[in-house]
Structure 1
């Protein structure tokens, strides 16, 4: 009898899997009628989030961030540059988002992923417009030297909501950033002071005498939602994104003020009530994520 039941269960599982593959939208809509998703989440619930700081030893700041299976590795590297004439007391930030073939079977070797430059621009716009980083914090000597912060983010597993996970990893990497100790030599050039020679005398004048954290303000939180008929699905998986077309990404700062609203795909315009609902879900999930991380 047990063998018969086992065979029936296996047959049933195969039928469900076949239905899911042949009619993915109908499969998901059956779950939506019950206000639940195939992975067991309520419609407005994001996946579990984890962050590991210091994932890249050679970087000045780094983090590994996961939202569900979507995984991002972010690393910040600092280099000394000559500041721009129009902003002599400010450093700069350069952001690059990478999607190597390992992250998804849809990314082919030798062919850059179409989403990569789009997410790169979206990250740059969000981080700069949010006011998270005061570029004056990256200044060393007015008009002569400042820090250029190169942020590289690598997608290791693309399982939906890529921008949300990329932004989370970027914020975490900058929060982990340690600005090195530097001095000016007799030629007026910036010299990095390593731990080995930290006890040596300053050659000319100190610029900063100890490592310091980068002060972050108005930290942005992002949440992407799928809009399908009258349903709103928070933090979509890759499977959900592939069968439902209308996306809405809401970015709030740490005071829950709206930073940006982006609708990258799907027909029509999102109505006001849907936007308000997405903002409300973002607030709830941001608080839950902050508690989980803290």
Structure 2
């Protein structure tokens, strides 16, 4: 019986979308309500919690001195991890990170790296000997769809509030993490020939494929990731990029502008 109900629900959502409607009444370019909180973990150098609809993401940033890579002896190191906690969904299981978690962590990480969000040369403590290693830990507290966009937003907000500890044993003051960019990820789901932003969990269950676009302040693309077997046409990709950049600009203005002013 439960399988029949699930199938009927998927058919209902699919047919709504084909008619240009969504289950929760949103337009195809509308995000669910977003709530952003920063400095929510007292023992972290930076932290943020994002609630996107009923999806909840917590990000903590920790800094630790370490050895630089041989080919970048004067640059800090960024390590991003994402955990799909079992409390967030009955679909998530304890144990090593699943392929899905690794993929989402890479999307978050790529957007930060490729946009040049962090001035990694300012994380050098001693050339060739010691640099700051930035650990970005993303925890999914509740999954109601579109984890990637919430994770991207929480990660950049946590970084924008990160304080770099003084490395010289009390000489000098702690300083804000040097930031150069504000990348924002926007995911679009494809149903038939229609594209919509911020798919809910029910919409993800029926969509044929998804495309995440991470864009910088000037609209340049810092990362893209396609998920799902159905291809996009060239026209659909261009439309998706335009929609993603438009929504990213709105999100920055509404939720990140005050953090930029504080830097």
In the superposition, the TM-score normalised over structure 2's length comes to: 0.89
Task: Report the equivalent of 2:252.
Answer: 290
CA contact (8 A) 1:248 1:261 kept: yes
1:231 is matched with: 194
Count of residue pairs brought into register by the alignment: 255
Give 1:39 deviation, angstroms.
0.7
Q: Which of 74, 97, 120 lines up with 1:135 in the alignment? A: 120
1: distance between equivalents of 2:99 and 2:75?
Answer: 32
Q: Which has the higher relative contact order, 1 or 2, with Cα contacts under 8 A spaced 6 or more apart?
A: 2
CA contact (8 A) 1:24 1:243 kept: no
- For residues 182-197 of structure 1, the aligned pairs below 5 Å read 182-183=167-168, 191=169, 193=170
Of 54, 57, 66 in structure 2, the residue corresponding to residue 69 of structure 1 is 54
Counterpart of 1:200 in structure 2 is none
Matched with 1:150 is: 135
Aligned-partner SS, 2:128: coil
Query: Secondary structure, in 3 states, of the residue corresponding to 1:277?
Result: helix
Match of 2:222 in 1: 259
| Residue ranges of structure 1 left out of the alignment (5+ in a row) | 1-17, 184-190, 194-205
CA distance in 2, matches of 1:110, 1:91: 29
CA offset digits 1:40-78 (Å, max 9, x no partner): 100121212221110100001111112221111111111
Q: How far apart are the structure 1 equivalents of 2:33 and 2:252?
A: 11
Residue pair 1:247, 1:266 contacting (<8 A) in 2 also:
no
Matching residue of 1:197: none
Aligned partner of 2:24 in structure 1 is 39
Work out whether 1:169 is the aligned partner of 2:169.
no
Deviations 1:16-46 (A, max 9, x none): xx99634233312332254221111001212
Query: CA offsets, 1:93-146, max 9 Å, x none?
Result: 111111110111111234744411111222222221121112112111222321
Q: Name the CA distance, whole Å, in 1 between partners of 2:112 and 2:207.
A: 28
The partner residue of 2:102 within 110, 117, 124 is 117
- List runs of 5+ in structure 2 lacking aligned partners: 258-263
**Closer, same or farther in 2 for the Cα pair 1:285/1:20, shift >3 Å?**
farther
- Give the aligned CA root-mean-square deviation in angstroms: 2.1
Counterpart-to-counterpart distance in 2, 1:120 and 1:291:
25
Match of 1:98 in 2: 83
